[in-house]
Amino acid sequence: MWNFSSGPSMLPYDVIHQMSFDILDWNSTGVSVFDISHRSKYFEIIYNEAESDLRELLGLSSDYCILFMQGGGQGANAIIPMNIIGRNGINMADFIVSGYWSSKSYIEACKYGDASIVASSNYAMKIDYQDCNPYTWFPKIESIKTRACSSYLQFCSNETINGVEFVDWNGLVNSIDGNAVLVADVSSNFLTRELDINCTGVVFSCAQKNAGISGVTIFIVRKDLIGMSLNICPSVFDYKNVVNSESRYNTPPVFAIYVSGLVFKWLKSNGGIKRMESNNLEKSRMFYDFIDSTSFYTNTIHSSVRSRVNIPFFLKNDFLTDIFVEKAESSGIINIKGHRSMGGLRASMYNAMPIDGINALINYMRDFERYYG
Ligand code: PMP
């Protein structure tokens, strides 16, 4: 089966294979990886390797620490304001809303202070994007005006549902007035291409797309932003406690961290992020080329920000969507339905999806068009 789920999604086969041994006997210790305590020397090894492999893959500067936390991507939307919204004395943060997930980030932050949308693609900008639908483009950098006392500017680097990917992070940093830091939700394009983490204050990613299974959330935090949490911040979510305890302030998701560690090793032995980036470029190019070659299928995302990993698309005749999904399954293609908020279809093609999977999907789509077109 080719699994095009947006998450939890395909894991590399080699990772699952390794897990099947470690579940019975981890590293010839006679202990299942399920039985390992977070205070044991075994977990120490798992944790340290996961942390250092990730650091190496990202080329991360020593100004940053990596935290393995819980709460998922949506938990991060609360954890971040509770930790850094007060860093300038007033609780203030700015948001760029370019789709479903960044909109949720903004709504959550409103509970912790003065959150403001400083740019949005939820309406057709009269000048630049007048023919585009909402959330099919990313606001022009020149249009973004941050507030002088804002603690951070948050955006989503890849809108998983809408299929909008924005990677000019340095451009965003340069657009900041005052001393706000950049915060990026990288949940769906983390590790899929080179991203300039070293220009940000905080990035976060839930693991269940490109970094393992659900249950762990990875934060990369610039060290000088640690230690300024609001009083209401739960102790387990306070960056200071998490850093000081090496992500073991409370019991961490041991198994999920172990799986992330396996994924990082798989990435290292498969050419690292550079190689993933060229694979993902090729896979998405094949898919967009096909969609653009026919009017039977459409993708309306502005060409400058089409996501390489989450591609929503529609059939010209929406009545055929359910039939498309049903027949796909019998052709070995699963989880191709669009998000409930969007309808239509969506192909998520993360690092673990091989080119053969894209070929299978395109062949199926071609056959479907031949029959129903
Ligand atoms: N941000 C993005 C970009 C996502 O894709 C998702 C999950 N699909 C989330 C946040 C929320 O993650 P979680 O379900 O782990 O809370």
Q: Could you read off the pLDDT of 333-362 as tens digits, one per residue?
A: 999 999 998 899 999 999 999 999 999 999
In this predicted structure, what is the pLDDT of residue 289?
A: 98
92: left (phi over 0), alpha (psi -120 to 50) or beta: beta
In this predicted structure, what is the pLDDT of residue 275?
A: 98
Ligand 1 within 6 A of 96 CB? no
Ligand 1 within 6 A of 162 CB? no
In this predicted structure, what is the pLDDT of residue 128?
A: 61
Probe ligand 1: pick from 164, 188, 350, max atoms within 8 Å of CB?
Answer: 188
Structure confidence by residue, pLDDT tens digits, 72-108: 999 999 999 999 999 999 999 999 999 999 999 999 9
Q: Tell me, yes or no, if the pTM score tops 0.95.
A: yes
Quick check: is 104 catalytic? no
Q: Are 314 and 297 in contact (CB under 8 A)?
A: yes
In this predicted structure, what is the pLDDT of residue 131?
A: 65
The atom of ligand 1 lying closest to the CA of 217 is 15
Residue 7, SS3 per DSSP: coil
Average pLDDT over residues 314-319: 95
Q: Which residues are annotated as a binding site for L-glutamate?
A: 6, 39
Average pLDDT over residues 58-81: 98
In this predicted structure, what is the pLDDT of residue 129?
A: 65
Average pLDDT over residues 269-273: 98
Structure confidence by residue, pLDDT tens digits, 141-185: 999 999 999 999 999 999 999 999 999 999 999 999 999 999 999
Return the CATH class of domain 13-269: alpha beta
How far, in whole angstroms, is CA 56 from its chain's centroid?
19
CATH 3.90.1150.10 placement within the chain? 271-372
pLDDT above 90 as % of the chain: 94
φ, ψ of residue 15 in degrees (nearest 5): -70, -45
Nearest Cα to 254, choosing from 290, 213, 305, 298?
Answer: 213
Strand order in the sheet with 345-348: 297-298, 310-315, 345-348
Homologous superfamily in CATH for domain 271-372: Aspartate Aminotransferase, domain 1 (3.90.1150.10)
In this predicted structure, what is the pLDDT of residue 116?
A: 96
Average pLDDT of every residue of the chain: 96
CATH 3.40.640.10 placement within the chain? 13-269
